[in-house]
Every structure is written in structure tokens, then in C-alpha cells.
Structure 1
Amino acid sequence: MQTGFRFNLSPVKEPLGFIKVVEWLTAVFAFGSCGGYSGRNVISLFCSSGSNETLEAKFSYPFRLNQVRLVAENVTLCNHTVSETHLVGDSSSSAEFFVAVAVLAFLYCMAALLVYVGYMHVYRDSDFGPMFDFVVTAAFAFLWLVCSSAWARGLQLVKYATGNEGIASTLLPCREDTVTCDVTEFASMRTLNISVVFGFLNLIVWAGNAWFVYKETRWHSQKVNSQQAASRGPGPAPI
């Protein structure tokens, strides 16, 4: 069996290779829309005395919100002396897990496409290649389910902590009846919402790709051969 590199784009035109290209693109959009995010919310405090105070909450990936300082130490807000205050929550684990899965999926797609376009003759002549590809593809489908669900939950926590309810529960003056707190400028979280959508889209694509990879394995060929043998029935009895 020859194992040299043979450039051939035909596998990319088949579902096996074409879906890998789609997976490569969706993985790029997934980690790009999440990993490069930064936002800023503006919080206005309306005091009973008629004066207003303005605060800023700047947050970004990986969303360690409990390290984002909202108020510096010993600042007077609406006649209240407020100690150093940070946002609440930490969504870094789910965000970093999501981005890590996306980056690994991106790298695996590149490696798989290299095999498809250059070593497809080796891939299909061996049992190891298709079986390894199927196991990894199925594993990524499961990882996309887990990390997308976790990041969707993490994003909800980010929205809560930076929204009106989360800010009101964090700032001490906002708990007074004489002070009204409101987020007057919201950071756009459209790209974060898109990242969740691409996460679940990757789940669908990788789960679908698992079927086409499975068809390349000997497990599928053995099943097809056994079904064909059963449909032919027993041979004629000897005379």
C-alpha cells in the first residue's frame, strides 16, 4: 500500500469532506464571536437630592465578573460612602470551555481535511483511520452539546449581573428607597448570542457528520454485508 501524499479534491465534494469544511467555518464563528468580546454598561444613579451619579461596568472574555471593579474604594454616591464594589458572578469556566472546544474542533477539521485531500487512499484502505475519525467526531458532537449548554447558562449569568436587577442587588445605595438605579446604556450582546447559536449549530453538524464517517468504518460494511447475506437466504440444498 502506497502511503505518499496524493492531492485530490474529490473527497471535499462528497458529504464526508464537505461537512468538515462546514464544521471548520462554524468553529471559527463560534470561538471568534465569544473569545473576542468586550462590552460596557453605563449605570445611572438618580438620588433623592436631585443629583445624579454615573458608573461604568466594563467586562470582556473570559467574563470573570467578580474581578470587574464597579466602584473604587470609599467613593461617595448619593450621600452614601461605598466601599470597593465588584460585579457578581464568574462565567469564565463555561466561556473558556466553549472556546477551547471550538479551537480544538477547528484544529481537528484542518487535520482531517489534510488527510482527506492528501491521504484518502490510506484512509480508506485501513480500518484505523475511519474508526478513529468516527470516535473523535462523535466525541466532538457530545462536547458541543455540553459546552454550548454550559455557555448558554453562563451567558444568562452575565446578562443578569450586568443588568438592572444584578446591578441593583450589588450596589449598596441602590438598596435604599431614596435612590433609583438604572442601566442607561447596555453593551450589545448580539455576538454572544450568536456564539450560542453557533455552538448548537456545531452540535447538529457534528452529529450529522458522524453518520457519514460511520459509513466509512468496517462496522457499517460488516452490517451491510450481513444484511445482504440474510436477504439472499440459504443456498440451495445439495442433491
Structure 2
Amino acid sequence: MDIVNQLVAGGQFRVLKVPLGFIKVLEWIFAIFAFSTCGSYSGTFRMSVECKNRTESNLKIGVDFEYPFRLHQVYFDAPTCKGGNDRLFLVGDYSSSAEFFVTIAVFAFLYSMAALSVYVFAFEKYRENNKGPLIDFGVTCVFTFMWLVSSAAWAKGLSDVKTATDPEKVLELIPACEHEVNRCREVHDPVMSGLNTSVVFGFLNLILWAGNLWFVFKETGIVAPFMRQPPAQEKQPAAQDAYGQGGYGQPDPYAGSQGGYQPDYSQQGYNQAGDYGQGGYEQQGAPTSFSNQM
């Protein structure tokens, strides 16, 4: 418990909170359900053959079958209604699709457990040089394809198993049932809910592994250059800087020695008192002298 507490306190399990680690946990769990519901299955069905001579009848013919569904090796004894029994075998061998499905589920379980261990205890080393993500991505692609193939194959195999273990179909194998004087009927159908669940978990694993491809691919860094944001544009120089260096910042021909427009009234215009005094408004003596001459 101390080790677990130290790992939790140190943030070792934080990766399980992100999609990369969380989906891997689901893959590990769903793989267990996939191979356990298929690999541990055993079923049975019952039939009855009622002969014209009741003493030769058998009303409780039981047929048991199980994984890996080599049905051609499953047999049962049925009355001939002629004073004896016949040993009959079921039809079909569906072990290839069932074993292939279970094998993929077991290897997916083992790989998910190994990947989770690396995520938790050596995630930094996993991301070093991108070797870990690249290997993980390649293996994930392979398992995604294998889940597709195995789940589809097992779905077809299960359909054939249901047909081969249908009591109505099996009754057709009994010669005594060909005679109308004998009465043959099914008593109990096999329960296939566990096998149906295995197919469902197979396709759920396919969805999980296919969805996890994106998150593993992101860890490889291949997509990083395409996801970078465009570089930020450089800020324009401030207005005062532009005015200080651009066209508005050129020396003002009208400016004085201190950079501003400071007209010098001391030497020009209205301050030229001497000029105005002699040749301007102060020449009022002329009209006066003219009036005196008149």
C-alpha cells in the first residue's frame, strides 16, 4: 500500500486520466470479457424421440458441446425404434474462427497490460526519441485489423454453430424421425447469450482500438508540424516612432533652432519698429504739411 500511495502521490497514474491511458484500460478490460465469454462457453440442448413402441422411446436425449466447437466430434445416442440405439455426430468444425478470436483477445489483453505498465512506470522513456509511440502505433494498427478480421470471422462462425446445434436441425439426423409413426421434438434449446456477448465485445474492441489510433498517433509527433499555429506577426512600430523616423519626422524647414515653429518677430514683420516708424503708419506729417501749403 505504501508503494501505491507513493506512486499516486508522485503522479504516476496521471496518464490514466488522459484518453491515451484511459482507452488502454478499457481495451484491457474488454479483451478479458471477449476471450472469457467465448473461451469458457459450454452449452447443451435436449430432444425427445417417442417411438411407436413406447418402451423403445428416449424422451431425454442430451447433447453437450463447448469451446472450441469441434462439433463433428460431439455425439449422442438416439433410439432407432427398432430395438437399439444409433450413435450420431453433429455436423461442422468451427474451431478455427473461435480459436482465432480467443487468441487475438488474449494477445490484446497481454499487450494492453504491458502498455499500461509502460505508461505508468516509464512514460518519459516511452516518449524518448519517439520510438515508443511509433512501436505502439504500429502494434495498435495490427490489433485493429486483427480485431476486425477475428470478430467478423467469429460472427460468421457463431451463426454456423447456432445452425448446427439447433435441435430441429439435429432431429433431421435421426433416422427414426423420418417415420411419421414416431414423434420427435425439441425439449430445450441451447443458451447462446454468452456467445452473442463475445461477438459484441469483439466489435467493441475494434472500435476502441481504432479510436485509440489517433491518440497514439499524436504521441509520435508526426502530426505536430501540421498543428503548429502560424507565427505571430511583428508589432507595428508606435506612431510616435514612425513620426520620429518617417516622413513626419523630417526636419521642419520652418522650425527654429529648437525644433519648433518659432517666428522671430524681433527682426521681421510687426516688430520692425524702425521701418514702420519711418515708412509706414508714422508718415503722418505729409498730409499735415500738404494742408498747410493749401
Question: Match of 2:46?
Answer: 42
Q: How far apart in 2 are the matches of 1:41 and 1:16?
A: 44
Distance apart, 1:157 and its partner CA: 1.2
Question: Match of 1:56?
Answer: 62
Question: Match of 1:206?
Answer: 209
For 1:61, give the aligned amino acid: Y
Question: Match of 2:284?
Answer: none
Choose from 68, 92, 95 the match for 2:95: 92
Question: Match of 2:27?
Answer: 23
Question: Match of 2:75?
Answer: 69
Alpha-carbon spacing, 1:118–1:168, altered in 2? closer, same or farther (3 Å): same
CA RMSD of aligned residues (A): 2.4
For 1:66, give the aligned amino acid: H
Distance apart, 1:217 and its partner CA: 1.0
Distance apart, 1:123 and its partner CA: 1.3
For 2:128, give the aligned amino acid: D
Deviating more after overlay: 78-87 vs 213-222: 78-87
Choose from 224, 227, 242 the match for 1:224: 227
Question: Match of 1:161?
Answer: 164
| Alignment check: 8 A CA contact 1:23 1:205 kept | yes
Q: Which runs of 5+ in 2 are unaligned?
A: 1-6, 235-294
Q: How far apart in 2 are the matches of 1:207 and 1:197?
A: 15
For 1:221, give the aligned amino acid: A
Q: How many percent identity over aligned positions?
A: 47
Q: How far apart in 1 are the matches of 2:64 and 2:153?
A: 23
TM-score, normalized by length of structure 1? 0.85
Partner SS for 2:190: coil
Question: Match of 1:128?
Answer: 131
Report which of the two structures shows the higher radius of gyration computed on alpha carbons: 2
Question: Match of 2:287?
Answer: none
Deviation readout 1:85-117 (Å, 9 max, x if unpaired)? 111111111110010000000000010001100
Deviation readout 1:171-223 (Å, 9 max, x if unpaired)? 22223333343221122111111001100111111100111101111322243
| Alignment check: 8 A CA contact 2:167 2:189 kept | no
| Alignment check: 8 A CA contact 1:145 1:203 kept | yes
For 2:75, give the aligned amino acid: R
Q: Which runs of 5+ in 1 are unaligned?
A: none
| Alignment check: 8 A CA contact 1:88 1:170 kept | no
Deviation readout 1:118-169 (Å, 9 max, x if unpaired)? 1110112222111111111111111111111111111111111111342033
